[in-house]
């Protein structure tokens, strides 16, 4: 059974609203906070608790016990000073995971300086996903990781089909790891497939590796 986590979302514009709603629908406890009473009213059915509050005021913020939350998302509007001040307050009261929405790179740098542990760039991140989907149609999805590593889902190049992972020896040849396989026919998910696993045309490979090594695999799919 999935363990319930606890989150707070500060700022209930479109982004904040859907983050709070999605977290709640995924079985988590969610406190939603905004200064706008109408926004708070709109989120009530999609969160555990909805609060009208000015989160730039430190004392009311302290009273919520946010330091024990699994994460606090700061998603305020275009006034960057508000998100900076809220992030600072959250850091000072001991919140360990602060995810803050940034409007630009300078805003992101300041948020990091005052205690935000993760920066969210909604428009930039979506733009990258759309662009990659258009320019790299064989890459089905990707998750950027640290130090230039990516985790991607990719359809197998024709040269892989009918061969086992042992025969392909992808770690030695391409410095990439197949950490899971989605079988579509029949539907199945194999985490850490054995070396004897034979790749089929209908499989989707989840690969971990450096960007340049993943790109070599990608180039095989279009050759």
Pick from 168, 171, 164: nearest CA to 213: 171
Residue 135's pLDDT is 58
DSSP-assigned letter for residue 45: G
Instruction: Give the chain's count of helices (H) and strands (E).
Output: 9, 11
Q: Average pLDDT, stretch 191-214?
A: 89
pLDDT, averaged across the chain: 86
Residue 131 has pLDDT above 70, yes or no: no
Residue 45 has pLDDT above 90, yes or no: yes
**Which pLDDT band holds residue 211 (cuts at 50, 70, 90)?**
confident
Q: Average pLDDT, stretch 204-223?
A: 81
Residue 41's pLDDT is 97
What number does CATH give the domain 6-121?
A: 3.40.50.720
pLDDT in tens, 86-106: 999 999 999 999 999 998 889
pLDDT in tens, 5-22: 999 999 999 899 999 999
Residue 67's pLDDT is 94
Residue boundaries of the structural domains of the chain: 6-121, 132-222
Residue 195's pLDDT is 93
The fold for domain 132-222 equals: Alpha-Beta Plaits (3.30.70)
Residue 153 has pLDDT above 80, yes or no: yes
Residue 122's pLDDT is 76
Residue 220's pLDDT is 80
CB 190 within 8 A of CB 183: yes
Q: What is the pTM of this model?
A: 0.62
Residue 130's pLDDT is 60
Residue 162's pLDDT is 93
Compute the distance between CA of residue 208 and CA of residue 26 in angstroms, rounded to an integer: 26
Judge if 6-121 and 132-222 fold alike in CATH terms.
no
Which stretches of 114-212 are assigned E, i.e. beta strand? Answer: 118-120, 139-144, 149-154, 177-184, 187-191, 203-210
Residue 54's pLDDT is 95
């Amino acid at each position: 059974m999935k363990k319930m986590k606890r989150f707070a979302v500060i700022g209930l514009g479109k982004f904040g609203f859907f983050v709070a709603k999605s977290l709640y629908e995924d079985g988590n406890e969610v406190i939603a906070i905004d200064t706008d009473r109408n926004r708070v009213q709109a989120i009530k059915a999609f969160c555990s608790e909805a609060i009208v509050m000015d989160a730039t005021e430190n004392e009311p913020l302290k009273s919520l016990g946010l330091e024990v939350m699994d994460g606090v998302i700061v998603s305020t509007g275009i006034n960057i000073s508000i998100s900076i001040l809220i992030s600072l307050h959250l850091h000072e009261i001991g919140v360990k995971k602060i995810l803050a929405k940034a409007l630009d790179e300078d805003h992101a740098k300041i948020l990091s300086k005052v205690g935000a542990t993760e920066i969210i760039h909604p428009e930039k991140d979506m733009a990258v996903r759309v662009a990659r989907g258009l320019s790299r149609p064989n890459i089905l999805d990707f998750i950027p990781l640290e130090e230039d590593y990516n985790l991607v889902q990719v359809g197998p190049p024709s040269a892989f089909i009918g061969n086992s992972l042992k025969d392909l020896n992808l770690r030695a040849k391409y410095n990439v790891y197949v950490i899971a396989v989605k079988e579509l026919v029949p539907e199945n998910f194999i985490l850490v497939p054995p070396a004897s696993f034979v790749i089929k045309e209908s499989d989707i490979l989840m690969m971990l590796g450096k960007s340049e090594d993943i790109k070599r695999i990608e180039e095989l799919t279009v050759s």
